[in-house]
Amino acid sequence: MTVGDPHTGNTGHHAPGEPSDGAPDPVALIALAEAHSAHNYHPLPVVLTSGSGAWVTDVTGRRLLDWLAGYSALNFGHGHPRLLARAHAQLDRLTLTSRAFHHDLFGRFCAELAELCGTDRVLPMNTGAEAVETGVKTARKWAYRVRGVPADRARIVVAAENFHGRTTTIVGFSTDEEARADHGPFTPGFDIVPYGDADAVGAAIEAADGTCAAVLLEPIQGESGVIVPPPGYLAAVRETTRRHGVLMIADEIQSGLGRTGRTLACEHEGVRPDLYLLGKALGGGLLPVSAVVGSDEVLSVHRPGEHGSTFGGNPLACAVALEVIAMLREGEPQRRATALGETLHRELAALREDPGSGVVAVRGRGLWAGVDVDPALGTGREVSERMLELGVLVKDTRASTIRIAPPLVIGEGDLMWGLERLREVLAR
């Protein structure tokens, strides 16, 4: 008896998580992941296998509406044809050179991204956390080389309840004890002030006695529950940083690139920081692409050999990001986020105003919302699990908050269908 097929590679054995009849078993696949991966995430019990637009399909063939969009990495949806076409074409040409050599897309990517942000230069990286780390290094280097801060004394003002990533330095200035636990000792040099309080920012800069390098903020705090600061806050911080001669750094990794109805969330207050930190949607949901974008004065402090990344600015990343930039220049993602956001917030406001709905508070901007649910109805995790049962993927953040951030390509009918499922869950 012959076992397997040497031409196809079929060994005659089924893979772990795949029953003998060939049909994927989601329970077995989840068990396989639990057995062999570190338990640093607690995913919802669903195993996805394909996606298109705002919809994904699990291994059982069930279609689900995506209301998370990869924490805004999928602003343009799953498998956007323009992005896939650019990626496929580049895969056949050149994917990686390292920064040891030039490639034909690098300069164009930097120039077009800088122009999109209304500034001069780009320092490309890969993940959002790398962009934040690069922003911190840039601010310190600028403080020493331009502002004249004494060596190793530079300080950076940050906001309480922030989320900028998971590196040791970044969690060191987090106020999330779960993220900080057992990761110390932490990097010094950060001063934490309440989010939304511009006066506290000014006081922290003054307390640093000439050693403050920068203020690092999220224009909207996504991980904390889509917290929108008071009107005028960003503009007041920008004025404060100008007055004191320190940098303003805006972490637009979640809020940027169309999510709020503008290319960058800072635009809602007419603010242009010294540095933008970008990521997530810059890679079109296909691969990690991030960048620090800023002025000549600030980014020119870097010299060869002082900072780098093997994959940062690689040809494949540049090809995809250039198409993302082209789509944002056309403005359709921003227009959709604005129009669909009006629908989303109108419907959520109606839920909040209904005393029997269980919705305690709603926040957000554009196609992005945080919904606080009465803890008596369940935790954010429990609400997310019930939404999954009804065909909608959403994720909790904090105790009783769910975040809603569908791909910007979602249809209004699909958005309304998802809102009906939310009403159904809350009514149970």
Q: Give the integer Cα–Cα distance in Å for 291 and 132.
A: 9
With beta carbons less than 8 A apart as the criterion, state whether 368 and 405 touch: yes
CA distances from 293 to 300, 305, 413 (A): 11, 19, 37
Q: Catalytic residue positions?
A: 163, 251, 280
Six-digit token string for 331: 């403005």
Give me the half-sphere count of Cα atoms (radius 13 Å) on the Cβ side of residue 52.
3
Neighbouring residues of 59: CB distance < 8 A, sequence distance ≥ 6: 24, 25, 26, 29, 47, 48, 49
Going across the sheet that includes 392-393, the strands are 48-52, 55-58, 63-66, 392-393
Considering all CA atoms of the chain, what is the largest pairwise distance in Å, rounded to the nearest integer?
Answer: 83
Determine the residue type at 387: M
Neighbouring residues of 246: CB distance < 8 A, sequence distance ≥ 6: 147, 205, 212, 213, 214, 215
Q: Give the integer Cα–Cα distance in Å for 294 and 95.
A: 26
